[in-house]
């Protein structure tokens, strides 16, 4: 995405980004992201997509491709003025902007151009920062996306901790830290979501005191090790990944989240009504408990985390 | 960061007034495509024109249904809702009887004054929030913070009866009223923070409660004879409203009940005292 108040500024950002890409990647194909210009949206940025392969040189050669790509995204977002990467998946695309969700959907022609097995949609009314295209949800990094309702009041602490791992928060809104925490914990540190949920929304100490010895040790260790990644404040999030979708609220559930199933389809939303709009008939509707993730996995994509923290989460499909 | 109302904008609002039609004694409203305000305007017009029964179909998330229905003459209406009632159903409800044939979302009976709400399904979070009169019956369970700051007011005593369980923070800051949780689904067995900050009213919970499940201000005691009479009365009323429930009054009452009451009417009286 290239922002800037004039077309000239956007083209200059694009030129600079492409110079950077040509040093770091082999560009196989690139194009402007198709949009329906008959849909009115205010001040759209220049939106371009690049299909690239890493060209790692020198000490970068030891890096995993995914780490290399993440580090380059951070470099672009911090160093190239008016250029931001807001979608970087292999098999995942983020489409976002300023406007009503249905207008953004029509602008990107989602119904005409794209098919997917997992969809997340979000409408946001920014209360603490200015609305801009990069600040819309979802926040994505590689194949993981996050949408969020609430407020991360621990943003400063979380941001400081994530910066130590090379994540630069540039998009001016709190949800960004959840996306990067998910990337750090799930992709880089390979922690299972059940554990990640207990890092982001840990049980309170009084509850830990009542646990059996083994669980108490685990929860205590997580709180000690990952204290700065505790997400304080009210939140409900939906994390989308390849073949998996996870819903999670803060531990005392200060934001709503309703889950439902119909046949083999899983739904999760802030409100039951929005699920009913898509599927008037549902097999099961429930309110997930605070701090306990609801995990839906696509058949054939199960992540294979079986042992360990047996209770406190639900697995669908 | 807030999520916009799921329903409020979607379709054009040009649904004709013909959406209202008179049936056998009841006026029907098709709520498909109606915005919250349009639906509530319609209800108010019907109330003022003397309508006694309204059936609303295709409700999907419209908020505040039943609010703004106060008149100095105390007109009364019965409202049947088919679909999923949106947040703050029956907010400030002043008399009237509302029945939802489906599920309700968050905030049912928010600051409700009088009347009755029957949900033939489940309710979301903050059920009976700040309720100060009237009765709410929910056939299935409910989410977090039911009866949050429910209160007695000028001789009124609100009653909330839930067939399923209630999740955490039941009766948080509760100041008055009666809550009866029948916990058919067992959800309340693992619930925490019940009665946190409670300083009035009473919660009856079918089954038992552990000290670690309730707030520090809460006294747990077995329901006595007088309690059980009250419970029996409201279990009867619950079963009258939900004949589909496959339990008899005797089966329900055969279980133990515990009573949760505040130890003090002023739990924080010493907190800011110098």
Q: Name the domain boundary from A65, A96, A116.
A: A116
B28-52 confidence digits (pLDDT tens): 999 999 999 999 999 999 999 999 9
From the list A232, A99, A253, A251, the residue with the least C-alpha distance to A177 is A232
A56-103 confidence digits (pLDDT tens): 999 999 999 999 999 999 999 999 999 999 999 988 999 999 999 899
Give me chain A's average pLDDT, please.
90
Interface membership of B171 toward A (CB under 8 Å): no
B237-266 confidence digits (pLDDT tens): 999 999 999 999 999 999 999 999 999 877
Q: How many domains does chain B have?
A: 1
pLDDT band of residue B14 (cuts 50, 70, 90) is very low
Do A173 and B1 make contact, defined as CB atoms within 8 angstroms? yes
Q: What whole-number percentage of chain B has pLDDT above 70?
A: 89
Whether A235 and A265 share a structural domain: yes
Q: Give, in order, the Cα–Cα distances in Å from A151 to each of A100, A109, A125, A204, B1.
A: 21, 30, 12, 19, 6
Nearest CB among B84, B192, B193 relative to A276 is that of: B84
Whether A88 and A220 share a structural domain: no
Interface membership of B57 toward A (CB under 8 Å): no
Q: Which of residues 195-234 of A touch B (CB under 8 A)?
A: 206-207, 210
- Answer yes or no: is pLDDT of A44 > 90: yes
In a domain, B267, yes or no: no
Whether A221 and A295 share a structural domain: yes
Nearest CA in chain B to A312: B190
Whether A238 and A269 share a structural domain: yes
Q: What is the dihedral of CA A295, A300, A303, A305, to 10 degrees?
A: 90
Show residues of chain B in contact with A289, CB under 8 Å: 167-168
- Dig out the tokens for A7 from the structure: 């077309």
Q: Is A79 exposed, middle or buried (0-12, 13-18, 19+ CB in 10 A)?
A: exposed
Interface membership of B207 toward A (CB under 8 Å): no
- Answer yes or no: is pLDDT of B2 > 90: no
Whether A274 and A165 share a structural domain: yes
Whether A106 and A137 share a structural domain: no
Whether A110 and A188 share a structural domain: no
Q: Give me the pLDDT at residue A303, please.
A: 54
In a domain, B153, yes or no: yes
Nearest CA in chain A to B167: A289
- Answer yes or no: is pLDDT of B10 > 50: no
Cβ atoms of B122 and B106 closer than 8 Å? no
- Residue B136 belongs to what H/E stretch? strand B135-138
Nearest CB among B3, B6, B168 relative to A290 is that of: B168
- Answer yes or no: is pLDDT of A273 > 70: yes
Q: Give me the pLDDT at residue B44, please.
A: 97
Interface residue of B2, B3, B12, B143 to substitute, partner A, most A CBs within 10 Å: B3
Whether A63 and A15 share a structural domain: yes
In a domain, B134, yes or no: yes
Whether A145 and A287 share a structural domain: yes
In a domain, B2, yes or no: no
In a domain, B6, yes or no: no
pTM for this prediction: 0.88
Please give the angle made by the CA atoms of A97, A100 and A101, to the nearest 5 degrees: 75
Interface membership of B204 toward A (CB under 8 Å): no
Average pLDDT over residues A280-285: 95
Residue whose structure tokens are 């038992």: B208
Helix extents (H) in A190-242: 193-200, 205-209, 213-226
Q: How many domains does chain A have?
A: 2
Nearest CB among A174, A207, A256 relative to B125 is that of: A256
Whether A109 and A144 share a structural domain: no
B137-175 confidence digits (pLDDT tens): 999 999 999 999 999 988 999 999 999 999 999 999 999
d(CA A258, CA A151): 19
- Answer yes or no: is pLDDT of B18 > 50: no
Whether A87 and A185 share a structural domain: no
Contacts of A218 (CB under 8 A, 6+ apart): A309
Residue A138 DSSP code: P
Give me chain B's average pLDDT, please.
91
Length in residues, chain A:
317
Interface membership of A283 toward B (CB under 8 Å): no
CATH of the domain at A285: 3.60.20.10
CATH of the domain at B160: 2.160.20.60
Q: Give me the pLDDT at residue B113, please.
A: 96
A300-313 confidence digits (pLDDT tens): 776 544 333 333 33
A112-123 confidence digits (pLDDT tens): 999 998 999 999
In a domain, B10, yes or no: no
Q: What is the CA A8 to chain-centroid distance, rounded?
A: 31
Do B167 and A253 make contact, defined as CB atoms within 8 angstroms? yes
Interface membership of B169 toward A (CB under 8 Å): yes
- Residue B137 belongs to what H/E stretch? strand B135-138
Residue span of the structural domain in which A280 resides: 117-317
Whether A235 and A124 share a structural domain: yes
From the list A289, A6, A25, the residue with the least C-alpha distance to B169 is A289
Interface membership of A270 toward B (CB under 8 Å): yes
From the list A28, A27, A33, the residue with the least C-alpha distance to A1 is A33
Interface membership of B215 toward A (CB under 8 Å): no
Show residues of chain B in contact with A272, CB under 8 Å: 61, 84, 103, 105, 124
Q: Name the domain boundary from A94, A116, A138.
A: A116
- Dig out the tokens for A255 from the structure: 């934001």
Partnered with residue B178 across adjacent β-strands are B159, B202
Q: Give me the pLDDT at residue A305, please.
A: 41
- Answer yes or no: is pLDDT of A129 > 70: yes
Q: Give me the pLDDT at residue A316, please.
A: 40
B62: number of Cβ within 10 Å: 28
- Answer yes or no: is pLDDT of B11 > 50: no
Q: Name the domain boundary from A82, A116, A150.
A: A116
pLDDT band of residue A130 (cuts 50, 70, 90) is confident
d(CA A254, CA A252): 6
Q: What whole-number percentage of chain B has pLDDT above 90?
A: 84
In a domain, B71, yes or no: yes
A142-153 confidence digits (pLDDT tens): 999 999 999 999
In a domain, B191, yes or no: yes
User: Could you tell me how many helices (H) and strands (E) chain B has, helices first?
Assistant: 3, 12
Interface membership of A276 toward B (CB under 8 Å): yes
Residue span of the structural domain in which B197 resides: 17-262
d(CA B167, CA B179): 14
Angle separating helix axes A7-24 and A65-79, nearest 10 degrees: 150
């Amino acid at each position: 995405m290239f922002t800037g108040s004039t077309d000239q500024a956007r083209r200059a950002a694009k030129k600079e980004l492409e110079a950077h890409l040509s040093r770091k990647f082999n560009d196989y194909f690139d194009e402007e992201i198709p949009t329906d210009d008959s849909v009115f949206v205010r001040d759209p940025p220049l939106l371009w997509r690049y299909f690239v392969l890493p060209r790692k040189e020198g000490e970068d050669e030891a890096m995993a491709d995914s780490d290399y790509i993440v580090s380059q995204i951070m470099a672009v977002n911090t160093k190239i003025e008016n250029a931001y990467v807001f979608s970087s998946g292999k098999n995942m695309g983020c489409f976002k902007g300023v406007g009503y969700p249905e207008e953004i959907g029509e602008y990107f022609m989602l119904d005409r151009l794209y098919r997917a097995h997992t969809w997340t949609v979000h409408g946001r009314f920014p209360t603490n920062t200015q609305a801009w295209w990069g600040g819309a949800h979802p926040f994505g990094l590689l194949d993981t996306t996050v949408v969020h309702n609430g407020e991360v009041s621990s943003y400063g602490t979380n941001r400081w901790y994530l910066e130590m791992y090379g994540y630069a928060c540039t998009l001016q809104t709190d949800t960004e830290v959840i996306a990067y925490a998910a990337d750090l914990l799930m992709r880089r540190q390979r922690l299972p979501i059940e554990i990640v949920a207990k890092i982001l929304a840990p049980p309170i100490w009084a509850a830990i005191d009542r646990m059996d010895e083994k669980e108490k040790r685990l929860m205590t260790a997580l709180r000690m090790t990952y204290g700065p990644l505790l997400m304080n404040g009210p939140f409900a999030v939906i994390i989308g990944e390849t073949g998996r979708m996870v819903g999670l609220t803060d531990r005392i559930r200060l934001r709503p989240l309703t889950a439902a199933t119909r046949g083999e389809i899983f739904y999760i939303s802030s409100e039951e009504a929005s699920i009913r709009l898509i599927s008037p008939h549902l097999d099961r509707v429930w309110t997930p408990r605070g701090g306990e993730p609801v995990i839906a996995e696509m058949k054939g994509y199960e992540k294979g985390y079986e042992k360990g923290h047996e209770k406190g989460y639900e697995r669908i499909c | 960061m807030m999520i916009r109302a799921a329903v409020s904008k979607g379709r054009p609002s040009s649904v004709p007034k013909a959406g209202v039609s008179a049936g056998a004694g009841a006026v029907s409203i098709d709520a498909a495509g109606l915005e919250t305000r349009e639906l509530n305007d319609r209800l108010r017009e019907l109330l003022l024109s003397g309508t006694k029964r309204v059936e609303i179909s295709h409700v999907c998330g419209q908020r505040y249904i039943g609010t703004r229905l106060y008149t100095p003459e105390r007109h009364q209406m019965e409202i049947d809702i088919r679909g999923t009632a949106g947040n703050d159903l029956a907010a400030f409800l002043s008399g009237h009887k509302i029945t939802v044939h489906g599920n309700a979302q968050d905030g049912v009976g928010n600051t409700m004054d009088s009347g009755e709400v029957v949900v033939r399904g489940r309710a979301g979070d903050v059920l009976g929030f700040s309720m100060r009169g009237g009765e709410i019956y929910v056939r299935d369970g409910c989410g977090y913070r039911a009866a949050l700051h429910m209160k007695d007011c000028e001789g009124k005593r609100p009653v909330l009866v839930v067939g399923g369980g209630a999740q955490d923070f039941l009766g948080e800051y509760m100041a008055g009223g009666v809550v009866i949780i029948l916990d058919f689904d067992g959800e309340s067995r693992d619930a925490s923070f019940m009665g946190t900050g409670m300083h009035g009213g009473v919660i009856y919970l079918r089954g038992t409660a552990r000290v670690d499940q309730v707030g520090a201000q809460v006294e747990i005691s077995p329901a006595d004879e007088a309690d059980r009479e009250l419970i029996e009365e409201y279990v009867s009323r619950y079963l009258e409203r939900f004949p589909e429930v496959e339990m008899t009054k005797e089966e329900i009452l055969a279980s133990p009940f515990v009573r949760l009451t505040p130890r003090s009417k002023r739990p924080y009286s010493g907190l800011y005292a110098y």
